[in-house]
Amino acid sequence: MNRIYLTKKQARQFLLLKHGLLGDYRFAGKEGILSFVRQAGCVQFDPVDVCGRNADLVLQSRVKGYQKAMLYELLYVDRKLVDYFDKNLAILPIENWKYFGRERKIHEEWERSHAEILEVQERVRGEIARRGPLCSAHLDMAEKVSWYWSDTRLARAALEHMYFVGELGIHHKSGTLKYYDLIENCIPAELLSQPEPYPSDFDYRKWLVLERIGSVGLLWNRASDAWLGIRGLKAAGRNAIFEALLKEEKIIEVEVEAIGEPLYCRREDAGLAAFVLENAPVKKRCEFIAPLDNLLWDRKLIEAVFDFSYKWEIYTPKEQRKYGYYVLPVLYGDRFVGRIEMAYDKKLKKLDLRNIWYEQDVRLTKALQRDVERRIRRFERFCRSGDV
């Protein structure tokens, strides 16, 4: 199979089945979390918590019985996942650590306030070796230095730089507060000693592009937020990568009804395409989708395939918002039928349903309203699963 032809409905089903968002749940419990993150390559992390942080929201829509403690344990107890940079700040399988040595080297060679940080690195390392995992408040380095978003304490800059270069890892978190430890206490020695698999920039970027295609399910060869974090990827390089991936038969061209340019999927997903081409009925589910969900990494693609336009309005001035500050798309079957705004009050242990907007062409059937109400109740149980 060198080319696949799909209707829009089939393309929607292909994407949703790939993500485990249609039909029976493919992922369950902690093993299900690991399976999905390994399939996706990474899940984007964002610290904002209105009704759950982005990574938790991604997983609650796919993993049967998901509770926030499961992700925490996989990161900081079992150490099968790790916080690091892939598509921006992300959660990735710990075995993927070896792929990002190039990124660590770049931070090693230059950083904001580099001279000030280098002066205190040995002191920070010694403090952690002696005292165990520390957060920035535990280090007496109060002087301010230039940092990424604004000036910050030298203690924080030094810890974050040492984390960026791979000398420290995140031992655990208390809310959003990070406690750092020596990297050898966070990642097994056999993984730390693995050589970088792709010594050339081209092969490294090719691996990342292939990973992102698999993470979204279908992607096109054009500028896209799905490529964020792939340093130095320009149009000419991206064209060469797609050409190489096609030649190596690692991707397949997918033609979708009414979309004027080809999409691409990974070759190992050809069986899924064959399944949707059979047009077999698939069980409907109602799910609330995270704002930075892997499925939504290319919102222009979502608009083309699902006829659904979504903007995360968290950075939009209040008076200019069409919907709300933290709004989740509502998926029902193979359609986005609307969007919902909720906020969870941790003190009162209560979910506040602020608004729900249905698309204009959606019929508000009893079945749809029943399934949305059931999903809200299940979402509240997820919120009550609490933070560690």
Tokens of 50: 């209105």
- Give the model's pLDDT for residue 52: 97
User: What count of other Cβ atoms lies within 10 Å of the Cβ of residue 118?
Assistant: 12
Mean predicted confidence (pLDDT) in 12-18:
98
Question: Residue 99 — pLDDT band, cuts 50, 70, 90?
Answer: very high
Q: Name the percent of the chain lying above pLDDT 90.
A: 97
- Give the model's pLDDT for residue 386: 77
User: Which residues of 27-176 form beta strands (DSSP E)?
Assistant: 27-28, 43-44, 63-64, 81-86, 88-93, 144-145, 152-153, 168-174
Question: Residue 360 — pLDDT band, cuts 50, 70, 90?
Answer: very high
- Name residues whose C-beta falls within 8 Å of residue 358's C-beta, 6 or more positions apart in sequence: 330, 337, 338, 364
Mean predicted confidence (pLDDT) in 119-144:
97
- Name residues whose C-beta falls within 8 Å of residue 247's C-beta, 6 or more positions apart in sequence: none
- Give the model's pLDDT for residue 388: 63
Question: Residue 2 — pLDDT band, cuts 50, 70, 90?
Answer: confident
Per-residue pLDDT tens over the stretch 159-194: 999 999 999 999 999 988 999 999 999 999 999 999
Q: What whole-number distance in Å separates Cα of residue 32 and Cα of residue 63?
A: 6
Please say whether the beta carbons of 253 and 3 come within 8 A: yes
Please say whether the beta carbons of 297 and 291 come within 8 A: no
Give the N- to C-terminal CA distance of the chain in Å, as an integer: 47
- Give the model's pLDDT for residue 387: 65
Mean predicted confidence (pLDDT) in 68-91:
98
250: Cα within 13 Å, side-chain hemisphere: 15
Please say whether the beta carbons of 81 and 94 come within 8 A: yes
Tokens of 197: 């698999």
Q: What whole-number distance in Å separates Cα of residue 246 and Cα of residue 40?
A: 20
Q: What whole-number distance in Å separates Cα of residue 76 and Cα of residue 173?
A: 8
> If you write DSSP's letter for every residue of 332-345 in order, what string do you get?
ETTEEEEEEEEEEE
Single-letter amino acid code for the residue at 372: V
Tell me the average pLDDT of the chain.
97
Per-residue pLDDT tens over the stretch 266-291: 999 999 999 999 999 999 999 999 99
Single-letter amino acid code for the residue at 264: Y
- Give the model's pLDDT for residue 285: 97
- Give the model's pLDDT for residue 257: 97
Q: What angle (nearest 5°) sits at the alpha carbon of residue 90, between those of residues 384 and 199?
A: 160
Mean predicted confidence (pLDDT) in 337-355:
96
Per-residue pLDDT tens over the stretch 197-252: 998 999 999 999 999 999 999 999 999 999 999 999 999 999 999 999 999 999 99
Model's pTM, two decimal places? Answer: 0.97
- Give the model's pLDDT for residue 149: 86
Domains and CATH numbers, the chain: 111-187 (1.10.10), 286-384 (no CATH)
Mean predicted confidence (pLDDT) in 365-384:
97
